[in-house]
Structure 1
Amino acid sequence: MNLLSGNEINKMITMQEVIDSIEDYYMQNEDTNKITPDRMHIDDGGNTALLMPAFYGDYYATKLIGVAPNNNKLDKPTIHGLMVLYDRKTLEPLMTCDAMPITALRTGALGGLGMKYISDQNASSVGIVGTGTQGWSHLQSACTIRDIDSVYVYNRSNEKLKEFISKAEIEFPDLTIQEAKLPELIKKSDIIITTTTSQTPVLPDMEPCDWKGKQVIAVGSFKPSMQELPNTFLSEVDEFYVDAYSAFHESGDMISAKCFGANETDTMSLENMIKEQHRPENIQDKTLLFKSVGIGIFDLITAKIIYEKNRDGKINRI
């Protein structure tokens, strides 16, 4: 069985398709006999292996990911992995592919759904902290969901920052894209996105008034030892949202948020946001956080789109 590469996958599927498919998944009422266990974490020093199985409809899928945060010092991607889609009845493998674009697409789509439901519908500016794969996928999803005209970007590596901006200027010629220091990025952006694997907060301490009317999408922290958001911000959040409740024990951000009143009872999951078509009230007076950690079902949904388009001869060569 051939391995689908990242380039091939990105030619087969759009961010809009992934966003729509995840949304449709939660809007469906029929029983699809889904099984979505928590992912398995295996730590090896600073590196982490993640095993993410899921069952849905006619399919079983598993994704095996390796996350090596220090790869950025070696000029290598932080994430590597494989995704396999199986026939659920026979367990026959149907498709094997590079897991990196699957992860990028579904994570960007989750962040995009967070923006769709809880950001200001007139939001026009976005700030992106971290210029790796997830920074790029969230630029894609932000531009898919909102009429973005201004993008502010921050990254510790100036070389990677320049590469990101150059690529974005080609792919999104109508956008104004510029480097910004973190305080400036926060003040000028309607939506702020953090995409790092940092163990210490990457956003600075700011005055409470600087966060009002802002929506933060945090996607980088997936272990208790990782925290992208400072406690000064978490203490000012008016409403917490998560893609899955596993965030409360997987992410250092949400573990810390518990100290400031966040809990599963008062926090809406993505499923509830979509099914209830939730919109926060008085957005301009609130500080909102959507925390995404991802679960295996989202990877399966993304792989399912690719497989069925390929199987049915409906590949969209972008």
Structure 2
Amino acid sequence: MAKLRLLSRAHVQEIITMEGAIGILEEAFADFAAGNVTMPVRTPITAPEYNGLSLFMPAYIPGLKALGAKVVTVYKDNPAKFGLPNVMGTIILLNPETGAPVCIMDGRYLTAVRTGAVSGLATKYLARLDAKVHTLFGTGVQARTQAWAVAKSRELKRCLVFSIDDDEKKQAFAGEVTKLTGVQTEVAKDAENAVRACDILTLATSAKEPIIDGSWVEPGTHINAIGSHAPGMRELDTATVVKSKVFPDSTEACMAEAGDFQIPVEEGAWSPDSIAADLGEVVAGSKTGREADNDITLFKSVGLALQDMATASYVYREAVERGIGHEFEF
């Protein structure tokens, strides 16, 4: 009879490290570039009578023996009606040899970490080696892991935080990031100067309209754009996309889901033919990333199931080795 391990959010938090997540994604993206990952497009199912959306994200990475799926649910009425989060995530891992389930784990914290980790990976391969200043738009859960990951990929001297939240929340977030990363973090007074001052710019917001102006972005900047992931939504203006060397997590996924790319195409200002490479191709060494210190490099991510399965497989292996979680016969 198959044994199934159950991992709660607390278990995942106990196990996962940003270094471990970046390392496992480096392997996964190289496999993806080599054509060794099976990953159907995410499948949405709506439950309009409950104001709900479910997203099913399967993937198989043979090199990591990672097979499974993440289910993300977005039920906007949950907090008010049921006292539950409006977004929840659950991951199931299967034994690729037998198909038997081996693990079910909470996916909320893991999703935040893997989203940060992919920006850390992009920063490792695309940012200037002498990058010292990181500007971060956003003060939510995703922004926290973005700050953590970028600080693992470059020796930063300073982090600037900008958001539309109230001053108390921004100051608290800056203090939390300083403690987490060891990088002195300050609240920026205005968006334009924060962008002009940075070597690395990360956008982790829920904005529907551009939050930066392309004229603010200085030569040599690396950009991680991870907040918007739906048609019609974008954090980047057209000018920023046009002036950048563009590296998506997946060209196919970004062209299907990212308003940051779709809107410039609709305007006739930009074409996906100008994409330099997918991130995995740079990681694998089959294509070139940054070529000069004055390049503006742009990493755009909409989130891929391979990130979830790779990170979940790493967490599961660690849990088995360290005896973490609850195991029972299924």
**Band of TM-score, shorter chain:** 0.7 to 0.9
| Equivalent residue number for residue 90 of structure 2 | 82
Give the deviation of 1:164 after TM superposition: 1.4
| Equivalent residue number for residue 220 of structure 2 | 213
Give the deviation of 1:77 after TM superposition: 6.2
What amino acid maps onto 2:26 in structure 1? E
Q: Do residues 179 (structure 1) and 172 (structure 2) align?
A: no
What amino acid maps onto 1:98 in structure 2? D
Q: How many residues align?
A: 309
Give the deviation of 1:53 after TM superposition: 0.6
Change (3 A) 1:68 1:192: farther
Where do 1:4-19 residues align within 5 Å? 4-19=7-22
In 1: Cα distance, 2:191 partner to 2:76 partner: 21
SS in 2 for 1:241: strand
Confirm or deny: 8 A CA contact 2:28 2:61 kept in the other structure. no
Give the deviation of 1:255 after TM superposition: 1.0
| 1:138 aligned residue (146, 163, 168) | 146
Give the deviation of 1:167 after TM superposition: 1.4
Give the deviation of 1:76 after TM superposition: 8.4
| Equivalent residue number for residue 313 of structure 1 | 322
Moved more, 239-248 or 82-91: 82-91
| 1:231 aligned residue (238, 248, 262) | 238
In 1: Cα distance, 2:16 partner to 2:57 partner: 21
In 2: Cα distance, 1:42 partner to 1:94 partner: 25
Q: Do residues 107 (structure 1) and 115 (structure 2) align?
A: yes
Confirm or deny: 8 A CA contact 1:234 1:260 kept in the other structure. no
Residues 121-178 of structure 1: CA deviation (Å, up to 9, x unaligned): 1101111111112111111111110001101111211243233112123223x42211
| Equivalent residue number for residue 56 of structure 1 | 61
Give the deviation of 1:26 after TM superposition: 4.1
In 2: Cα distance, 1:305 partner to 1:51 partner: 20
Give the deviation of 1:201 after TM superposition: 1.5
Confirm or deny: 8 A CA contact 1:102 1:302 kept in the other structure. yes
In 2: Cα distance, 1:151 partner to 1:255 partner: 30
| 1:279 aligned residue (268, 274, 289) | 289
In 1: Cα distance, 2:35 partner to 2:237 partner: 40
TM-score normalised by the chain length of structure 2: 0.83
- Which runs of 5 or more residues in structure 1 are unaligned? none
What amino acid maps onto 2:114 in structure 1? R
Residues 166-208 of structure 1: CA deviation (Å, up to 9, x unaligned): 2123223x422111121121011111111122211222x2526
What amino acid maps onto 2:183 in structure 1? L
SS in 2 for 1:21: helix
Confirm or deny: 8 A CA contact 1:240 1:262 kept in the other structure. no
Where do 1:136-215 residues align within 5 Å? 136-158=144-166, 159-172=168-181, 174-180=182-188, 181-203=190-212, 205-207=213-215, 210-215=217-222
In 2: Cα distance, 1:195 partner to 1:109 partner: 13
In 1: Cα distance, 2:312 partner to 2:160 partner: 31
In 2: Cα distance, 1:214 partner to 1:69 partner: 36
SS in 1 for 2:164: coil
| Equivalent residue number for residue 292 of structure 1 | 301
Change (3 A) 1:256 1:186: same
| Equivalent residue number for residue 241 of structure 1 | 247
Give the deviation of 1:32 after TM superposition: 9.5
SS in 2 for 1:278: coil
Structure label with greater radius of gyration: 2
Moved more, 301-310 or 39-48: 39-48
In 2: Cα distance, 1:264 partner to 1:99 partner: 35
Percent identity, aligned pairs only? 25
In 2: Cα distance, 1:72 partner to 1:153 partner: 28
Confirm or deny: 8 A CA contact 1:153 1:179 kept in the other structure. yes
